[in-house]
Structure 1
Amino acid sequence: MSEKKSKKSSAFEWIKAIIIAVGLALVIRIFLFEPYLVEGASMNPTLHDGERLFVNKTIGFTNHFNRGDIVIINGEENGLHYVKRIVGLPGDTIEMNDDVLTINGEEVEEEYLDENRQEAEQIGLLLTDNFGPQEIPEGNYFVMGDNRLNSMDSRNGLGFIDEARIIGRSEFVFFPIGEIRRTN
């Protein structure tokens, strides 16, 4: 009789452990970190098509995004997700002239664009077409891909991004294994 109780107790402990593990995994995935697949070339050379990254979703709860953060955006109407870099913050006035980004009247260096800028110069193009000045409404962000010649972003289709559409901030690439690195 005690052997039956011991087997039932052991089975119950296993079931309890599995339920707790599944519950923790769901909580982590829903509220803390979630993997995403990079699709397309809009963030080259920073991120590449087919890479997988972990996204910190807790940053969305604090509503604290910084200029330069790489974020995942809910595409709302089409169910897609976009990976873009935050360039302008709520209340900023943003302008681009001759590949020089100006925010609130000050030039902003974008070192992460050096490789793409050189390629654009070689073919005789500006990396980023001129626009602005535009004031970013409160509660919204201005985002662009790092591959400005091949990116749908706030300039040409996505418009200003409401804070509620930002799922989280990219933290690191975890696949392919040989390319593991931080992204922010």
Structure 2
Amino acid sequence: MEQEVGQGAVQQPTDQDGTPKRKPKNEIFEWLKAIIIALVLVFLIRWLLFKPFIVDGPSMQPNFHTGERVIVNEILYDFRAPKPGEVIVFHVPEEGRDFIKRVIAVEGDTVKVEGDTITVNGKPIQEAYLKAPLEEAHQNGELYNKFTNFPNEKFKDGKVPAGHIFVMGDNRSNSTDSRMIGYIDLKEVVGRADVIFWPAKDMQWINH
């Protein structure tokens, strides 16, 4: 008597003696090939969309330190422009390397830096990410930014041109940024720093 097969069921192939047939070797090979291709695709997507970057130098202290590894989102700015407060990585052709800085102003903005006061379009900006070092310096009767103001002798126009941004390092007294190298062309922007992933004890999402 033949056994009925229910709707949607699949009969397993059997040999003449009724034992289930073994999967052919080529089927196993196809599965392995599919898994390898999937892993390669994941790897490529990971490295095309996100890029590791090593912080080098003190210019972003106290929020970033030399030797820290960050993940840079390379696709975000394909959909929109950088916003003030975001930490970005960008190429500096004159230096032959990449910098990590914070966006202060964007195209069309008028920016002015006088000591610890930064105004954008005539309004002082609030920098919660520097609250502690600013307060400490002021309590000691000092300025946190003892370095260059902006506009200055080298860059006299405080209006950010189209297709550019104005950036600064969080360590205002020890940072080579737009005060010295000028406005950053958006074409040179690599992406936004989103995660500190090394050292492991300092792993965290970056607040923007």
* Structure 2 residue 102 is the aligned partner of structure 1 residue 85: yes
Determine the structure 2 residue equivalent to 1:130.
Answer: 149
Larger strand proportion of the pair: 1
Does structure 1 retain, via aligned residues, the 8 Å contact 2:116–2:143? no
Q: Please, which of 147, 156, 179 is the counterpart of residue 171 of structure 2?
A: 147
1:35-87 Cα deviation digits (max 9, x unpaired):
21111111111111111111112211113311000001022344411110000
Please state if 1:107 is matched with 2:124: yes
2:62 to 24, 27, 45: 45
Deviating more after overlay: 84-93 vs 55-64? 55-64
Q: CA deviation at 1:126?
A: 4.9
Give 5+ residue unaligned stretches, structure 2.
1-20, 152-156
Larger-gyration structure (1/2): 2
Q: TM-score, normalised by structure 2?
A: 0.77
Residue 142 of structure 1: how far off its partner (Å): 0.3
Give the ranges of 4+ consecutive aligned residues of structure 1 lying more than 4 Å apart after TM superposition. Answer: 118-126
User: Which shows bigger deviation, 49-58 or 10-19?
Assistant: 10-19
CA–CA separation in structure 1 for the residues paired with 2:55 and 2:189: 16
Greater per-residue helix proportion: 1
CA distance in 2, matches of 1:149, 1:168: 25
d(CA) in 2 for partners of 1:72, 1:61: 14
**Correspondence 1:165 to 2:188:** yes
Instruction: Give me the identity figure in percent.
Output: 34
Question: Whole-Å Cα distance in 2 between the matches of residues 16 and 78 of structure 1?
Answer: 44
Structural RMSD (CA): 2.2
Q: Deviations over 1:105-134 (max 9, x none)?
A: 111122222344356554845515322260
Distance 1:100 1:13 in 2: 62
CA contact 2:55–2:68 (8 Å) conserved in 1: yes
Matched residue of 1:150: which SS? coil
Q: Hey, what does 2:13 align to over in structure 1?
A: none
1:27 to 45, 65, 68: 45
Q: Does 1:63 align with 2:80?
A: yes
Cα 1:62–1:71 change in 2 (3 A) is same
SS in 2 for 1:9: helix
Tell me which of the two structures has the higher relative contact order, counting C-alpha pairs closer than 8 angstroms and 6 or more residues apart.
1
Corresponding position: 1:7 with 2:25: yes
C-alpha distance 126-178 of structure 1, shift in aligned 2 (>3 A) = closer
